[in-house]
Chain A
Amino acid sequence: NAGVTQTPKFRVLKTGQSMTLLCAQDMNHEYMYWYRQDPGMGLRLIHYSVGEGTTAKGEVPDGYNVSRLKKQNFLLGLESAAPSQTSVYFCASRPRDRDGRNSPLHFGNGTRLTVT
Protein backbone atom coordinates (compact mmCIF):
# COMPACT_ATOMS: atom_id res chain seq x y z
CA ASN A 1 0.00 0.00 0.00
CA ALA A 2 1.97 3.01 -1.29
CA GLY A 3 -0.63 5.69 -0.41
CA VAL A 4 -0.29 8.81 -2.57
CA THR A 5 2.58 8.80 -5.05
CA GLN A 6 3.73 11.85 -6.99
CA THR A 7 6.04 11.92 -9.99
CA PRO A 8 8.44 13.49 -10.66
CA LYS A 9 10.00 14.53 -7.34
CA PHE A 10 11.99 17.39 -8.86
CA ARG A 11 11.85 19.27 -12.15
CA VAL A 12 13.42 22.34 -13.68
CA LEU A 13 11.61 24.00 -16.59
CA LYS A 14 12.33 26.97 -18.77
CA THR A 15 9.70 29.65 -19.20
CA GLY A 16 7.15 28.58 -21.78
CA GLN A 17 7.77 24.85 -21.50
CA SER A 18 4.97 22.47 -20.60
CA MET A 19 4.82 19.51 -18.27
CA THR A 20 2.44 17.17 -16.47
CA LEU A 21 2.63 16.18 -12.83
CA LEU A 22 1.21 12.76 -12.03
CA CYS A 23 -0.53 11.78 -8.82
CA ALA A 24 -1.59 8.21 -8.13
CA GLN A 25 -3.37 6.82 -5.07
CA ASP A 26 -4.06 3.20 -4.25
CA MET A 27 -6.55 3.75 -1.41
CA ASN A 28 -9.68 3.92 -3.60
CA HIS A 29 -10.31 7.50 -2.42
CA GLU A 30 -13.09 9.45 -4.12
CA TYR A 31 -11.63 12.94 -3.72
CA MET A 32 -8.28 14.21 -4.99
CA TYR A 33 -6.60 17.60 -4.74
CA TRP A 34 -3.67 19.61 -6.05
CA TYR A 35 -2.10 22.24 -3.78
CA ARG A 36 0.91 24.48 -4.16
CA GLN A 37 2.99 25.57 -1.20
CA ASP A 38 5.04 28.76 -1.16
CA PRO A 39 7.00 30.30 1.74
CA GLY A 40 4.80 32.36 4.02
CA MET A 41 1.62 31.52 2.10
CA GLY A 42 0.78 28.03 3.20
CA LEU A 43 -0.99 25.49 1.03
CA ARG A 44 -3.23 26.93 -1.66
CA LEU A 45 -5.73 24.80 -3.57
CA ILE A 46 -5.25 24.75 -7.35
CA HIS A 47 -7.87 22.24 -8.55
CA TYR A 48 -9.71 19.33 -7.08
CA SER A 49 -11.86 16.38 -8.14
CA VAL A 50 -14.77 14.73 -6.39
CA GLY A 51 -14.87 11.73 -8.69
CA GLU A 52 -13.68 10.14 -11.89
CA GLY A 53 -14.30 12.43 -14.84
CA THR A 54 -15.02 15.52 -12.71
CA THR A 55 -12.79 18.46 -11.81
CA ALA A 56 -13.30 21.86 -10.21
CA LYS A 57 -11.30 25.04 -9.66
CA GLY A 58 -9.71 25.92 -6.37
CA GLU A 59 -8.27 29.23 -5.15
CA VAL A 60 -5.44 29.59 -7.69
CA PRO A 61 -6.38 27.70 -10.88
CA ASP A 62 -4.97 30.07 -13.52
CA GLY A 63 -2.18 28.61 -15.62
CA TYR A 64 -3.03 25.01 -14.67
CA ASN A 65 -5.27 22.29 -16.06
CA VAL A 66 -6.21 18.95 -14.58
CA SER A 67 -7.73 15.66 -15.62
CA ARG A 68 -9.09 12.67 -13.76
CA LEU A 69 -9.73 9.97 -16.33
CA LYS A 70 -9.25 7.18 -13.81
CA LYS A 71 -10.27 7.20 -10.17
CA GLN A 72 -6.75 6.52 -8.95
CA ASN A 73 -4.97 9.20 -11.01
CA PHE A 74 -5.10 12.99 -10.98
CA LEU A 75 -2.92 14.86 -13.46
CA LEU A 76 -1.83 18.49 -13.17
CA GLY A 77 -0.70 20.21 -16.35
CA LEU A 78 1.22 23.39 -16.95
CA GLU A 79 0.78 24.40 -20.59
CA SER A 80 3.24 27.31 -20.60
CA ALA A 81 5.31 27.49 -17.43
CA ALA A 82 6.08 30.85 -15.81
CA PRO A 83 8.58 31.72 -13.04
CA SER A 84 5.59 32.49 -10.76
CA GLN A 85 4.79 28.78 -10.88
CA THR A 86 8.03 27.90 -9.11
CA SER A 87 6.71 26.10 -6.04
CA VAL A 88 6.29 22.81 -4.24
CA TYR A 89 3.22 20.96 -5.48
CA PHE A 90 1.38 18.53 -3.25
CA CYS A 91 -1.27 16.07 -4.29
CA ALA A 92 -3.71 14.79 -1.69
CA SER A 93 -6.65 12.42 -1.53
CA ARG A 94 -9.35 11.47 0.92
CA PRO A 95 -12.33 9.13 1.10
CA ARG A 96 -15.93 10.24 1.56
CA ASP A 97 -16.83 11.10 5.14
CA ARG A 98 -18.33 8.13 6.94
CA ASP A 99 -20.23 7.65 10.19
CA GLY A 100 -20.39 11.41 10.69
CA ARG A 101 -16.62 11.73 10.94
CA ASN A 102 -14.59 14.05 8.74
CA SER A 103 -11.98 12.20 6.72
CA PRO A 104 -8.50 13.77 6.66
CA LEU A 105 -6.33 14.39 3.61
CA HIS A 106 -3.49 12.03 2.74
CA PHE A 107 -0.63 13.84 1.03
CA GLY A 108 1.98 12.76 -1.45
CA ASN A 109 5.64 13.70 -0.89
CA GLY A 110 5.53 16.67 -3.22
CA THR A 111 7.07 17.79 -6.49
CA ARG A 112 9.62 20.61 -6.36
CA LEU A 113 9.31 22.64 -9.55
CA THR A 114 11.60 25.46 -10.58
CA VAL A 115 10.81 27.60 -13.62
CA THR A 116 13.71 29.70 -14.90
Chain B
Amino acid sequence: GQNIDQPTEMTATEGAIVQINCTYQTSGFNGLFWYQQHAGEAPTFLSYNVLDGLEEKGRFSSFLSRSKGYSYLLLKELQMKDSASYLCAVRPFSNDYKLSFGAGTTVTVRA
Protein backbone atom coordinates (compact mmCIF):
# COMPACT_ATOMS: atom_id res chain seq x y z
CA GLY B 1 0.00 0.00 0.00
CA GLN B 2 0.90 3.63 -0.03
CA ASN B 3 0.77 4.15 3.79
CA ILE B 4 -1.23 7.34 3.71
CA ASP B 5 -1.60 9.03 7.09
CA GLN B 6 -3.99 11.79 8.12
CA PRO B 7 -5.19 13.01 11.53
CA THR B 8 -8.46 11.40 12.53
CA GLU B 9 -10.33 14.48 13.71
CA MET B 10 -10.02 18.26 13.83
CA THR B 11 -12.27 20.94 15.27
CA ALA B 12 -12.29 24.61 14.32
CA THR B 13 -14.43 27.70 14.70
CA GLU B 14 -16.55 29.26 11.97
CA GLY B 15 -14.52 31.85 10.07
CA ALA B 16 -11.18 30.34 11.08
CA ILE B 17 -8.56 28.46 9.02
CA VAL B 18 -7.82 24.75 9.32
CA GLN B 19 -4.91 22.83 7.81
CA ILE B 20 -5.27 19.09 7.23
CA ASN B 21 -1.97 17.28 6.79
CA CYS B 22 -1.38 14.14 4.76
CA THR B 23 1.84 12.15 4.67
CA TYR B 24 2.46 9.23 2.37
CA GLN B 25 5.12 6.64 1.59
CA THR B 26 5.41 5.65 -2.03
CA SER B 27 8.30 5.46 -4.47
CA GLY B 28 6.51 7.77 -6.86
CA PHE B 29 3.08 8.83 -7.88
CA ASN B 30 1.14 10.51 -10.62
CA GLY B 31 -0.97 12.77 -8.48
CA LEU B 32 -2.23 13.50 -4.98
CA PHE B 33 -5.94 14.15 -4.65
CA TRP B 34 -8.23 15.63 -2.01
CA TYR B 35 -11.89 14.68 -1.70
CA GLN B 36 -14.64 15.95 0.57
CA GLN B 37 -17.25 13.60 1.99
CA HIS B 38 -20.26 14.76 3.99
CA ALA B 39 -21.77 12.23 6.38
CA GLY B 40 -23.86 9.67 4.54
CA GLU B 41 -22.91 10.98 1.13
CA ALA B 42 -20.47 10.16 -1.66
CA PRO B 43 -16.97 11.67 -1.82
CA THR B 44 -16.61 14.64 -4.16
CA PHE B 45 -13.42 15.86 -5.78
CA LEU B 46 -11.81 19.01 -4.36
CA SER B 47 -8.33 19.36 -5.84
CA TYR B 48 -5.18 17.62 -6.92
CA ASN B 49 -1.44 18.28 -7.10
CA VAL B 50 1.11 16.74 -9.41
CA LEU B 51 3.98 19.18 -9.00
CA ASP B 52 5.36 20.74 -5.83
CA GLY B 53 3.66 23.89 -4.67
CA LEU B 54 0.32 25.39 -3.86
CA GLU B 55 -2.91 25.02 -5.84
CA GLU B 56 -5.64 27.48 -4.89
CA LYS B 57 -9.35 27.08 -5.54
CA GLY B 58 -11.39 29.73 -3.79
CA ARG B 59 -11.43 29.07 -0.04
CA PHE B 60 -9.59 25.77 -0.47
CA SER B 61 -5.89 25.35 -1.25
CA SER B 62 -3.75 22.24 -1.50
CA PHE B 63 0.01 22.03 -1.13
CA LEU B 64 2.44 19.29 -2.13
CA SER B 65 6.08 18.56 -1.33
CA ARG B 66 7.13 15.38 -3.12
CA SER B 67 10.60 15.33 -1.54
CA LYS B 68 9.01 15.29 1.92
CA GLY B 69 6.11 12.98 1.06
CA TYR B 70 3.75 15.59 2.43
CA SER B 71 0.62 17.43 1.42
CA TYR B 72 -1.89 19.61 3.17
CA LEU B 73 -5.37 20.93 2.47
CA LEU B 74 -6.05 24.43 3.73
CA LEU B 75 -9.62 25.52 4.37
CA LYS B 76 -10.07 29.25 4.87
CA GLU B 77 -13.02 31.27 6.17
CA LEU B 78 -14.61 28.13 7.52
CA GLN B 79 -18.35 27.73 7.17
CA MET B 80 -20.65 25.30 8.95
CA LYS B 81 -21.17 23.44 5.67
CA ASP B 82 -17.45 22.60 5.64
CA SER B 83 -18.05 20.06 8.42
CA ALA B 84 -17.18 16.84 6.62
CA SER B 85 -14.49 14.21 6.17
CA TYR B 86 -11.54 15.11 3.96
CA LEU B 87 -9.83 12.27 2.16
CA CYS B 88 -6.27 12.30 0.86
CA ALA B 89 -5.57 9.92 -2.04
CA VAL B 90 -2.58 8.95 -4.16
CA ARG B 91 -2.22 7.50 -7.67
CA PRO B 92 1.03 5.49 -7.61
CA PHE B 93 3.45 5.07 -10.52
CA SER B 94 3.33 1.32 -9.93
CA ASN B 95 -0.31 1.22 -11.02
CA ASP B 96 -1.58 4.45 -12.47
CA TYR B 97 -5.16 3.17 -12.75
CA LYS B 98 -5.61 2.86 -9.01
CA LEU B 99 -6.31 5.52 -6.41
CA SER B 100 -5.42 4.67 -2.80
CA PHE B 101 -7.11 6.60 0.01
CA GLY B 102 -6.15 7.58 3.50
CA ALA B 103 -8.66 6.97 6.30
CA GLY B 104 -9.85 10.57 6.16
CA THR B 105 -9.94 13.52 8.58
CA THR B 106 -13.27 14.51 10.10
CA VAL B 107 -13.49 18.27 10.46
CA THR B 108 -16.11 19.75 12.77
CA VAL B 109 -16.86 23.46 12.43
CA ARG B 110 -18.36 25.09 15.51
CA ALA B 111 -20.17 28.42 15.72
Determine whether the beta carbon of A42 is less than 8 Å from that of B97. no
Whether, in the assembled complex, B33 has its beta carbon less than 8 Å from a beta carbon of chain A, the answer is yes
Determine whether the beta carbon of B1 is less than 8 Å from that of A105. no
The chain A residue with its CB closest to the CB of B42 is A107
B-side contacts of A108, CB under 8 Å: 42
Known: A102-B50, A104-B45, A108-B42. A48 touches B91 (CB 8 A): no
How many of A's residues come within 8 Å of B, CB to CB? 23
How many of B's residues come within 8 Å of A, CB to CB? 24
Interface of A is mostly: strand
The chain B residue with its CB closest to the CB of A90 is B42
Among A43, A59, A90, A108, the one with the most B-chain Cβ atoms within 10 Å of its Cβ is A43
Report the minimal beta-carbon distance from A106 to chain B, rounded to whole angstroms. 8
The chain A residue with its CB closest to the CB of B102 is A42
A-side contacts of B50, CB under 8 Å: 102
Tell which of B35, B41, B101 touches A109, judged by Cβ atoms closer than 8 Å.
Answer: B41
Whether, in the assembled complex, A45 has its beta carbon less than 8 Å from a beta carbon of chain B, the answer is yes
A45 vs B97: C-alpha distance when bound (angstroms): 11
Whether, in the assembled complex, A74 has its beta carbon less than 8 Å from a beta carbon of chain B, the answer is no
The chain B residue with its CB closest to the CB of A30 is B97
A104 vs B44: C-alpha distance when bound (angstroms): 9
A-side contacts of B42, CB under 8 Å: 90, 107-110
Chain B interface residues (CB < 8 Å from chain A): 1, 8, 30-31, 33, 35, 41-45, 48, 50, 87, 89, 91, 97-104
Given A90-B42, A105-B45, A110-B41: 9 more A-B contacts, CB < 8 Å: A40-B8, A42-B101, A42-B102, A43-B43, A44-B101, A45-B100, A59-B1, A102-B31, A105-B99
